């Protein structure tokens, strides 16, 4: 396995584990995902010199996301980490300067103790056994980038403010996503 110049697997998995609370299976996989992704896009100093060049899309709200967050310094609140909750162990690493992006997907269902055997040694397992990696294009809009909000509009139905072009246009009406879909994750109970 090639060692990226931003750290060895052992150093990185330790950092990611500290952020997450323990070094679980997902943290080990997430560490390897980050190493694979950053190397492909040519980023070696994600929290220093390269920090303005990097954006990551993650596709799950689990441990791997914590590893990616800890090691890349990308955060939802900085708009450098986008969470697409597809329930997939996958992430796309984007170099905003060179406009290159690679999507890293965990192969099969790599579970701890699968086949009743021991957990694989994540420090040495070849990348091609762990992941499917493809170069991808990620169209980013100005309203997806870090910086000040580019727009604020009120929803015509609930009156709440929607920022950064996340509104939906229904003919003449401007609606927020839940109002336009008539469905949401919460119910008002009082």
Nearer to Zn ion, 42 or 165 (CB): 165
Q: How far is the CB of 15 from Zn ion (least distance, A)?
A: 14
Strands of the 54-58 sheet, one edge to the other? 81-83, 54-58, 90-95, 100-106, 131-136
Number of shown-chain residues binding Zn ion (CB under 5 A): 8
Cβ-in-10-Å burial (0-12, 13-18, 19+) of 85 comes to: exposed
Nearer to Zn ion, 140 or 156 (CB): 156
User: Is there a contact between 138 and 59 (Cβ–Cβ < 8 Å)?
Assistant: no
H/E run at residue 146: none
The C-alpha R_g of the chain, in whole angstroms, comes to 19
Nearer to Zn ion, 26 or 46 (CB): 26
Question: By CB under 5 A, is residue 89 in contact with Zn ion?
Answer: no
Nearer to Zn ion, 25 or 51 (CB): 25
Question: By CB under 5 A, is residue 176 in contact with Zn ion?
Answer: yes
Which one of 24, 29, 38, 70 is in contact with Zn ion (CB under 5 A)? 24
Contacts with Zn ion, 47-76, as mask; x by CB under 5 A: ----------------x-------------
Output DSSP code: residue 102.
Answer: E
């Amino acid at each position: 396995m090639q060692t990226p110049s931003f750290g060895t697997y052992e150093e990185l998995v330790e950092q990611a584990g500290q952020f997450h609370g323990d070094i679980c299976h997902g943290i080990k996989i997430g560490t390897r995902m980050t190493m694979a992704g950053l190397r492909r896009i040519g980023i070696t100093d994600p929290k220093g010199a390269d920090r303005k060049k990097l954006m990551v899309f993650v596709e799950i709200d689990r441990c791997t996301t914590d590893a990616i967050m800890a090691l890349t310094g990308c955060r939802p609140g900085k708009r450098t980490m986008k969470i697409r909750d597809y329930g997939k162990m996958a992430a796309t690493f984007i170099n905003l300067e060179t406009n290159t992006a690679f999507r890293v997907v965990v192969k099969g269902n790599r579970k701890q103790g699968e086949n009743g055997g021991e957990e694989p040694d994540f420090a040495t397992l070849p990348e091609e056994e762990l992941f499917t990696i493809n170069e991808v294009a990620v169209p980013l809009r100005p309203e997806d980038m870090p910086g000040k909000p580019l727009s604020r509009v009120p929803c015509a139905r609930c009156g709440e403010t929607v920022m950064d072009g996340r509104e939906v246009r229904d003919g003449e009406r401007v609606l927020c996503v839940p109002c336009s879909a008539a469905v949401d994750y919460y119910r008002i109970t009082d």
